[in-house]
Each structure stands twice: as structure tokens, then as C-alpha cells.
Amino acid sequence: MKTEPRTDVYTRVTAKIVADLEQGVRPWLKPWNAEHAAGRISRPLRANGQPYRGVNVLLLWGEAQGKGYNAPIWITYKQAATLGGQVRKGEHGSLVVYADRYTKTETDEQGQESERHIPFMKGYTVFNVQQVEGLPAHFYATAEAPRLIEPIPQAEAFFLCTGAAVQHGGNRAFYAPARDIIQLPPRESFRDAESYVATRAHETVHWTSHRSRLARELGKRFGDNAYAAEELIAEMGSAFLCADLGITPEPRDDHAAYLAHWLQVLKKDSHAIFTAASQAQRAADYLHQLVEPKQAAA
């Protein structure tokens, strides 16, 4: 596995996200309906079926959209060979990253030893299974198109189990921190069930920022761009949750106005997309941790 310089990985990832945004493409939105035996809509998957997380979801969704892949599974060159496959000649891989830390023992002037944990990041290359020949048949299998259902039961059950207070009315969607309540327009005003779910997921990610939950404070990290950063976190968190729930929403028109703000943040700070993706993943994980025990007990 090739190790990239830390700053180079941050720069390469940010440059890819910025390039997508400049084309008007939000890589955390998956606007097509890929049918595959692995499932209807999912996060990108490793060869063993384990979903990618955080910024890797954005990278691989963006690659799939840009190159027209409709299979969600990504593998390394070595994994392909182990499975009896071969990456086709001329195919180019896609960047994913791996973050970890190592422990370094240091000795101070008094001869006392202490351990310091040092984070690092690696970049490595994966290929979509559509770039690979000779893999077992299930990697290429397609599934029948699912029937749309309104309302979407798994989403309704998920949001109910979060415990977030929601009221419907008016023509705006927002989270009110002072009242700790999510406000949504009437359900029938949305163009479809998926759009309602995506909007509710977006506002529910905002709901996780409350001081009694994740206490997400972005002012010190992003300064004047804290609001744009919070919207970016909610956008990506909503996309992660929709993928987890097997839902493909259409892009919300009102979010297009944020593109310029997001580009400003990302161009100024190559670490910003990593922070935002990490916070979005943390919010999604937090909501799953609220929901799963209740669903298991039901």
C-alpha cells in the first residue's frame, strides 16, 4: 500500500471535492438509482460488504457519478487478483484515504518517558468492480427495480426512534435550537416521499448539534464560515442517512445557494472537508445509536 505525504492527501481530496462543486455537483448526493444485488442505494462498499465511511463516501460517490459506475463495490488491485479478477488495461483507480495514529515514546530532560499519539493519513487506490474482469458473478449481479412507497416505513420508524421533536406547518424547514424543535412544511407539500425524508434528515442532523447532544461548536474552527460549515455537515449527514435507509432523494433547489459559500471554505482550508465529513459521520452515528436499541427492543 502506497503511503502519501499527509498534506498531499488532504490537498488531493479537497481539490477533487472543489472540482465537483465548481461543476455544480455535490458528491454527497447520489442522483441516480443504481440497481445492484448489493442493494438499491448504499454507501460505497468494500469487497467484504463493509460500507466506507466519512470522506471516502464522498470521494467514491463522486467517482461513480463522474464515471458512470452503477455498482457500489470497490476493491484494491490485490483484492481483485485474490478473487480471480483482473483490472482492465487502461483503467485508472480512485483515491480513498485511511486515517490512524501511531504511538511514539519520548524521553524528556529528566529522563522520564512518555507516549505521544501521532495521527497520520494514507492514500491508496481502489477500483470499481465495473473496471475489473473475472470476478465472481455476485459482484456484477443486478436487482429488480424496487417499487416506490409513500410514506417510507423504515425512514418513518427511524425518525420516530430518534426522539427529535417535529412539528409541521408553514413553508420553511429549519431547526430551532432555542426551542429544540424541528419545523417542517406539511408532508404533502414535498414533491415526493424521498424529498421529505432528505429534508427531515438534514434538519435532524442539525438537531444533533444541540449542547445536550453532540454540542457541535464550529466558531473556533471555521470563524465567520461556521454557518456554511454547519450546513455542509447537515447536507452530508443527510446524504449518509438517506444511503443507510436506502433512499435516493433529488437535490434540494434551495441548497444550490450554498455552493459558493462551501467553495470559499474549502479553497481556503484543505482540511475543512475532512472536518465536515467527520462531523457528518459522527452525527449519523449518534442518530443510529439512538435508534438501534429501540428498534432491537421493539
Encode pLDDT of 8-24 as tens digits.
788 888 888 888 888 77
Task: Determine the average pLDDT of the residues in 275-279.
Answer: 95
Give residue 254's pLDDT: 56
Encode pLDDT of 62-108 as tens digits.
888 778 787 889 999 999 999 999 999 999 999 999 887 777 777 77
Give residue 33's pLDDT: 41
All residues at 6 or more sequence positions from 169 whose CB lies less than 8 Å from its CB, including other chains:
183, 185, 186
127 vs 134: CA distance, rounded Å:
14
3-state secondary structure of 246: coil
DSSP letter at 49?
Answer: S
Q: How confident is the model at residue 181 (pLDDT cuts 50, 70, 90)?
A: very high
Give residue 32's pLDDT: 37
Higher pLDDT, 130 or 147: 130
9 vs 121: CA distance, rounded Å:
7
221 vs 168: CA distance, rounded Å:
33
Task: Determine the average pLDDT of the residues in 264-293.
Answer: 95
Encode pLDDT of 213-226 as tens digits.
999 999 999 999 99
Residue type, 176: A
Give residue 79's pLDDT: 95
Give residue 1's pLDDT: 47
Report whether pLDDT(196) > 80. Answer: yes
The domains of the chain are located at: 1-143, 147-298
